[in-house]
Amino acid sequence: MKYASINGTIIEHDKASLHISDLGLRRGYAVFEFFRILRGVPVFLEDHLERFERSARLLELTPPFGREKLEGLIRELIELNNLREAGIQMLLTGGYSPDAFTPGQPNLIIAPMAVTPPPAQLYQQGGKVILHQNLRELPEAKTTDYLVAVKLAKRVRAEGATEVIYHDGKTVYEGGRSSLLIIQQGTLITAQAGVLPGITRKHLLEVARPILPIQERPITLAELYSADEVLLTGATRQVMPITQIEDRRVGDGQVGPYSQQLMKAFQENLEAYLNHRMVLR
């Protein structure tokens, strides 16, 4: 990666930096957005920019540029870095603070990132998740508060899992870096409140509507354990089937028929999106 952008200025990636007084560093007061670049196309960019703005509003931060300028900077970085298969992270911080508490003028970083997709076998055999009791602050905003997810990353790897699912002892919400959906008796169920509005989840729900009924409501721990099929969605993992919850099998332990249908439908939708955006360039 050769170039990044700080507050609209293109700079060499290795020289990009902020002052130590930035509130994102001092207090973790920042929001971010991450999206994939596939075939040189920023995937679902419109949705990610909208969520970025919504997250900023929830933290009362104002991006230095409007959506058109942001999109222009992103496309410039894609060209300058010759990005074909990668990711881009947008980070809006609380700015330089004189007292390490009061927000200042927000700083905006846009930087490319290398992306390693999950192993193909996880989509063929299904992955494993672990559970952890945790409630995120301001869950509807995509903040940089990933304290619990980062801390648990070692445990996730040690137990051969791909993700940690958060719950409050009764209700399950989302993964540390993903949205959660279950299929029970032919109905797709996913939480709507108290979770980050996932972009990949949004597009999966759109393609799922002709396939099976959808309920957007709270999911209990008991429902997760008894689910016929479980799915995780996210920008990097896209749509991933889950066949094990800690030491319990999901259904018969195989990737279920609805999961297979939904993964196929999502990939077809993504392919159509990429083809359309490539024609427009």
DSSP string, 47-59: HHHHHHHHHHHHT
CATH number at residue 142: 3.20.10.10
Q: Tokens in use for 35?
A: 């999206």
- Indicate the residue among 58, 93, 113 that finishes a domain: 113
The reply to whether 263 falls in a domain is yes
The reply to whether 278 falls in a domain is no
What type of residue is 117? Answer: P
DSSP state of 185: T
Q: What is the pLDDT of residue 230?
A: 98
The reply to whether 279 falls in a domain is no
Q: What is the pLDDT of residue 277?
A: 86
Looking at the structure, tell me whether residues 21 and 145 fall in a common domain: no
Looking at the structure, tell me whether residues 129 and 192 fall in a common domain: yes
CATH number at residue 80: 3.30.470.10
Q: Is the pLDDT of residue 126 over 70?
A: yes
Looking at the structure, tell me whether residues 140 and 102 fall in a common domain: no
- Indicate the residue among 93, 113, 133 that finishes a domain: 113
Angle between helices 45-58 and 67-80 (to 10 degrees): 130
Token pair 């083809």 is at which residue? Answer: 275
- What secondary structure, in 3-state letters, does 228-254 show? CEEEEEECCCEEEEEEEECCEECCCCC
Is the C-alpha dihedral spanning 67, 71, 74, 76 positive or negative? negative
Looking at the structure, tell me whether residues 149 and 197 fall in a common domain: yes
Looking at the structure, tell me whether residues 34 and 102 fall in a common domain: yes
The reply to whether 163 falls in a domain is yes
Q: What is the pLDDT of residue 267?
A: 98
Q: What is the pLDDT of residue 280?
A: 60
The reply to whether 214 falls in a domain is yes
Q: In a 3-state reduction of DSSP, which class is residue 176?
A: coil
What type of residue is 46? Answer: E
C-beta neighbour count of 89 within 10 angstroms: 14
- Indicate the residue among 113, 132, 153 that finishes a domain: 113
Average pLDDT, the chain: 97
Looking at the structure, tell me whether residues 80 and 127 fall in a common domain: no
Angle between helices 199-208 and 257-280 (to 10 degrees): 110
The reply to whether 232 falls in a domain is yes
The share of the chain scoring above pLDDT 90, in percent, equals: 97
Q: Tokens in use for 156?
A: 């996730």
What integer is the mean pLDDT of 82-107?
97
Q: In a 3-state reduction of DSSP, which class is residue 211?
A: coil
Looking at the structure, tell me whether residues 104 and 204 fall in a common domain: no
The domain total for the chain is 2
Looking at the structure, tell me whether residues 19 and 102 fall in a common domain: yes
pLDDT band at 170 (very low <50, low <70, confident <90, very high): very high
Contacts 24+ apart (CB under 8 A), 174-179: 174/139, 174/198, 175/129, 175/232, 175/234, 176/146, 176/148, 176/149, 176/152, 177/146, 177/149, 177/234, 177/236, 178/232, 178/233, 178/234, 178/237, 178/240, 179/232, 179/233, 179/234
Looking at the structure, tell me whether residues 53 and 154 fall in a common domain: no
Q: Which domain does 261 fall in, by range?
A: 121-271
What integer is the mean pLDDT of 94-99?
97
Looking at the structure, tell me whether residues 261 and 156 fall in a common domain: yes
CA gap 193, 216 in Å, rounded: 9
The reply to whether 276 falls in a domain is no
Q: Is the pLDDT of residue 265 over 90?
A: yes
The reply to whether 49 falls in a domain is yes
Q: What is the pLDDT of residue 281?
A: 60
pLDDT band at 278 (very low <50, low <70, confident <90, very high): confident
Looking at the structure, tell me whether residues 106 and 176 fall in a common domain: no
| CA atoms within 13 A of residue 121's CA, in its CB half-sphere | 3
Looking at the structure, tell me whether residues 100 and 155 fall in a common domain: no
- Give the distance from CA 69 to its chain's centroid: 23
- Entry pTM: 0.95
Q: Is the pLDDT of residue 279 over 70?
A: no
